Chains A and B, each alone.
Chain A
């Protein structure tokens, strides 16, 4: 009698509670061990790059909100930076400081989601997630105070912000910044020394440094692999040279390191926020820019350090009111390149955890 063993093909399909959106992974399994993997994207493709070619420069800003819908402020910022570089527009000081405040609040919110959902995928039935949502609700309340929206803000404009902040915003941000380190300590106390979490994440899903650089991985994943590359320090945009903060890096580049890098980045964001609030000057929130902006013929590439990685916009202008080509460099899309190497040899349970530690958002991947 001959024993025949066949590999099993399973599609961790578009409908799955843990794939952060409509992402499909086709796994070839040998028992529980993954032997091959193919990612298939495109279930959320909305043609944002094509749509941008038929809209004016200001009308593209709400489109950029929907890229990484958990980090709308930073998406807006990257696009607006690109247009300002193309057209040579200078932004007033107050608007720069406010942009930094919004960007860092967005970074904290996005990392809270990332760490919370990592806990969810590890199997703690929503408990760490709901603790982190408590803080995220406070951030969303702050944003609602400013622009009236909780998720897709559409707040930044070419030349500054759409309008100035209301009076109750600054005291509320100061209160938030004062109590946030205590909450981050609470999360670390619950999670970082948990035996089962250490057993599930230490040594799991290692991405060697060479492979990370070659696969164009950016963001916390690259920093957890030991490369000290953060665009806020390496290529400072806006006014980031004026703030003091550290860049956390990891040593082993496993899932636990990525989790620690995100928690430390949250602490550093709180530090930047404290400095920005103290240094906030009075002034206007926007320079006057014509309604139908016609930048000179040319091209520009501007990038920022979004919470997920390097978000860049490559704009080509032919002198008309709409961009000729708006190419979006989305961090989650290139971060998936490294996924196959990280997953082979691990089990299904690890597949979900490793995938969650890269922290992608399908809006960016599929655009």
Chain B
């Protein structure tokens, strides 16, 4: 009886040692992959940060209005944020690669899913950045146009333009990420429909003068600066 127990324990210990011996190289491989991955990710971060600084990405980001958002959230500069993001994505990729080298059943599927999702995440971020850039540019253009043509409520117009482009961008980002596709599509359609209907009613009923002035400035330039009986001043 005692001998049986000793034998079983010995076998179990030997099995454990064998398993550990089989697992150890894989663990080493994983650690090496993670370590090399860290170095590559760090190098990638450094290169990306240099490129973005050379390309004056922070200035572009400031123009897009992204810097203001980051400042409000007490986050670092856009260049730093993008480089850090690239570092973590790259390193996480290597960590998952290393984990898959362990051969643990079930984990491989998640690793594959992550690598399929990665390009979509990058594209979504690309949409987000350029969407914010477009929102900032066109809202400022609308503000300047409204001020220079003496339109009422220039900031309201500018905000409306910014909100519409931001909503459009958000819907494109969510669609790219595959998050709540149908809900987002429906919400987007409802919001856009409501805005357009509201604008149509407001412009048609409440904005006759606005519409007239817009059409006059569009099709009869040169007449807009003066009222009847006044002399026209030419800046040139």
Do these two chains interact? no
